[in-house]
Amino acid sequence: MDPELASAVPPVHDAAEDRQQRRSLSVSRKKFSGSRPGAVRSNKERPLAYIDNSAEASIASGGTRVEDYLALLKPRVMSLVVFCALVGILVAPGSINPFIGFIAIVCIAIGAGASGALNMWYDADIDRIMSRTQNRPIPAGRATPGDALALGLVLSAFSVMLLTLATNWVAGGFLAFTIFFYAVIYTMWLKRSTPQNIVIGGAAGAFPPMVGWAAVTGTVTWESFALFLIIFLWTPPHFWALALYKQGDYGAAGVPMMPNVAGEKSTKCQIFAYTLALAIAAFLPNILGFSSWIYGIVALATGAGFLWFAVKLLVSPEGADMKRAARSLFTYSLSYLFVLFLALLVDNFALRLGVI
């Protein structure tokens, strides 16, 4: 037959055969579905539950990505630490070779990142509980605690040794102490044992300007201590404001933050007290003579703004209004330290150039 004609002729079916096939298909469907009342399905017939183990499978297959390792270093926290250390280097008296200064900043950044990795290693259990930390690499299943521990230890040793060789033993020793203080004193001891965890542990985040200053001068002075004190006093109102509107997270994780232990009223009073102390301490660079009126004006304006938010929080009623006020203060505090230290840097450059 002509192929074109054959293709135009519809196929011929055996009707009896078709009926038999349909009957067999119907019977097999009934057996599979277990439609009879009380029918018990065999293990082979039961539907399988789907369990998503993609995160674990990703790790098991070596799926930790570069961005996950970077996330272990807490880059957002690191950025503020690096900036404050940079200000310490540039404001310190004397000079430093630009390349050596760059190495010093890199070492401080790596050291800060190492501290963050060690913190994530130790806090992996509570990070799984708190909403703001659940997407970190370890609780999200994108990295293992072993990854964070190894990364933290290797980077700690590398940053301390390189900074010591590039600058001096004072800066290297200060960086080593900073990493130890944050990873051991704060993370492993204070954080879960006392509501004063942030106050004492805040020293770790306040050391970087002193490390930068020491990298240039090889000494620790009252001027560098003034920069330390500003960050030290900034830490409690910053983190307690966060804790006020994240009480549920910290309570569920068993972290004794001040609002969970002393209550909201006491915490608000302490935030105001620390903010007042911070606004006064911000004038220490003027008092000690390493800044001028440019920095002084910025310190006055930013300190007044911080106090306004603290007062607003202090008088806010409990509930949603208090949480909004706490969140506003926390948001303001994020930019406060950057603006203040940037003003100190600009002021110092103006003094050195003879503009003022």
Rounded-to-integer distance, Cα 39 and Cα 33, Å: 9
Other CB atoms within 10 Å distance of the CB of residue 225: 17
The residue with tokens 């183990």 is 53
The pair of structure tokens assigned to 232 is 């030290």
pLDDT in tens, the chain (356 residues): 443 434 433 444 444 454 455 555 444 444 444 444 444 444 444 444 333 444 444 454 456 688 899 999 988 888 889 999 999 999 999 889 999 999 999 999 999 999 999 999 999 999 999 888 899 999 999 999 999 999 999 999 999 999 999 999 999 999 999 999 999 999 999 999 999 999 998 899 999 999 999 999 999 999 999 999 999 999 999 999 999 988 888 888 888 999 989 999 999 999 999 999 999 999 999 999 999 999 999 999 999 999 999 999 999 998 889 999 999 999 999 999 999 999 999 999 999 888 87
This prediction has a pTM of 0.80
CATH topology of domain 62-220: Tetracycline Repressor; domain 2 (1.10.357)
Packed helices 75-91 and 98-122: angle between N→C axes, nearest 10 degrees: 150
Closest CA to 274 of 209, 205, 329, 208: 329
Closest CA to 244 of 222, 225, 263, 218: 263
- Give 285's contacts (C-beta < 8 A, 6+ positions apart): 223, 226, 227, 291, 295, 299, 344
Rounded-to-integer distance, Cα 29 and Cα 43, Å: 17
